[in-house]
Amino acid sequence: MTDVNLSAILYKKLDLRLEERPIPEPAKGEVQLCMQKVGICGSDVHYWQHGRIGDRFIVTGPMLLGHECSAVVTKVGEGVSHLKVGDRVAIEPHGVCRTCEQCKSGRYNLCPNVFFLATPPDSGALARYHVHGADFVFKLPDNVSFEEGALIEPLSVGLHACRRARLAMGHRVLVCGAGPIGLCAMLSAKAFGASAVCVTDIDPKRLEFAKEVGATHTVLIERGSSEEEVAKKVAETLGGAPDRTIECSGAQFSVNLGVFATKPGGVFTIVGHGPNKVEFPVVSLVAKEIEIVGSFRYINTWQTAIDMISCGKINVAPLVTHRYTLEETMQAFEMSKSGQGVKVMIDCAKK
Ligand code: NAD
Ligand code: ZN
């Protein structure tokens, strides 16, 4: 019996369906993958709930969701030499043009012709089978699980943010937001040699979880407190003002806090997408010569992440709080939407 390709397809806002699609065949330079674990990202839930993210990414036709993935190679297209059938792999969601100025300079995350899984109009990989450009498919060592392989995507956001921040040994670090991205930034900062990492959130349960998975300090953002007050508390907690701040909450409050909290001459890296326009305490920013740096997705982080997980220096596994099968996709999305867990993982393998 031929296998069918059960796929999680978003038709439009609030219209997510599980449907059978043909199994795709790999073209030259591609591999066919039997999907194993796919994590649900906040963006997947956002497209499902709102049909768009801002004015730039709008769901206009059916598209698969899912971009945090691991898989097993089932077919190898012409010209692919570094992978073979049966390899366990992690997938970087990119596909880029390789010819533009950004690609040639190595900053392929900024390629204007980028393909990115589950970002309209590009389809995702939450299905039984998927084909992908082999140059963005990475072999997993035996001691890295499929769940860890899928978590390399959010971890990569954290690693890239730390690289953008020029984070170094001994830095005190503030991470705003204890969602999956903030936690991955915290784990990355520790791996880069941070001496202390303080994570903030408005949700005490998320801070408890952050402590469990490795945050050295936490500060709860309480209603009515000012950014200046919290900045003081962060400095007291860390034993000094943070050398680096990484914003992963998308909150206007955190953007202001980052400027007030970061040590003069320090770097404030912004990862979170909040409202398109936010206010800045510009006098403080200028007088402290704070460097503000944007951080978008990642470049060349997969092999680093695989090696750091494999050697035990980064432990992402505890971030998974809920597990579902591909057939239970709707329940998985409801759980992710509820915000009760941290990372919801879908098992795409046929049972
Ligand atoms: P999430 O919603 O799970 O986590 C955000 C956390 O911030 C939540 O725990 C929330 O309680 C907390 N929060 C809200 N207001 C806060 C405040 N005032 N202070 C501190 N914490 C506050 O989201 P996530 O999946 O972890 O993603 C975090 C952000 O990163 C989002 O804005 C997302 O769009 C963005 N993101 C950016 C990139 C990139 O490449 N730049 C990639 C992925 C995600
Ligand atoms: Zn390009």
Which whole number is the average pLDDT over 45-73? 96
Give 160-186 pLDDT, tens digit per residue.
999 999 999 999 999 999 999 999 999
Any atom of ligand 1 within 6 Å of the Cβ of 245: no
Q: Which protein residue's CA is at the shortest distance from atom 8 of ligand 1?
A: 179
Residue 56 and residue 59: Cα distance in Å, rounded?
A: 10
Give 256-282 pLDDT, tens digit per residue.
999 999 999 999 999 999 888 888 899
156 Cα: distance to centroid of ligand 2 (angstroms): 20
Asked whether the beta carbons of 298 and 269 are under 8 A apart, the reply is no
Mean of pLDDT over the chain = 97
Q: Which ligand is nearest to the CA of 175?
A: 1
Determine the atom of ligand 1 nearest the C-alpha atom of 182. 26
Q: What is the pLDDT of residue 206?
A: 98
pLDDT at 134 over 90: yes
Q: How far is CA 280 from the centre of its chain?
A: 25
Neighbouring CB atoms inside 10 A of 79's CB total 10
> Model confidence at 103, in pLDDT bands (50, 70, 90)?
very high
Closest residue by Cα to residue 276 from 302, 255, 297: 255
Determine the atom of ligand 1 nearest the C-alpha atom of 296. 40
Q: What is the pLDDT of residue 2?
A: 52
Which whole number is the average pLDDT over 124-131? 98
Asked whether the beta carbons of 217 and 175 are under 8 A apart, the reply is no
Give 180-207 pLDDT, tens digit per residue.
999 999 999 999 999 999 999 999 999 9
User: Across the strands, what pairs with 9?
Assistant: 17, 64
Q: What is the pLDDT of residue 335?
A: 98
Q: What is the pLDDT of residue 320?
A: 98
Residue 280 falls in which region: left (phi positive, over 0), alpha (psi -120 to 50) or beta: beta
Ramachandran angles phi, psi of 102, nearest 5°: -65, -45
pLDDT at 3 over 80: no
Give 319-341 pLDDT, tens digit per residue.
999 999 999 999 999 999 999 99
Cis peptide before 121 (omega within 30 of 0): yes
pLDDT at 225 over 70: yes
182 Cα: distance to centroid of ligand 1 (angstroms): 7
| Pocket test residue of 249, 252, 316 for ligand 1, highest count of atoms within 8 A of CB | 249
What the chain holds in terms of domains, given with CATH numbers, is 5-151+316-347 (3.90.180.10), 158-294 (3.40.50.720)
pLDDT at 1 over 70: no
Closest residue by Cα to residue 257 from 268, 265, 271: 268
Give 280-294 pLDDT, tens digit per residue.
899 999 999 999 999
Residue 59 and residue 124: Cα distance in Å, rounded?
A: 12
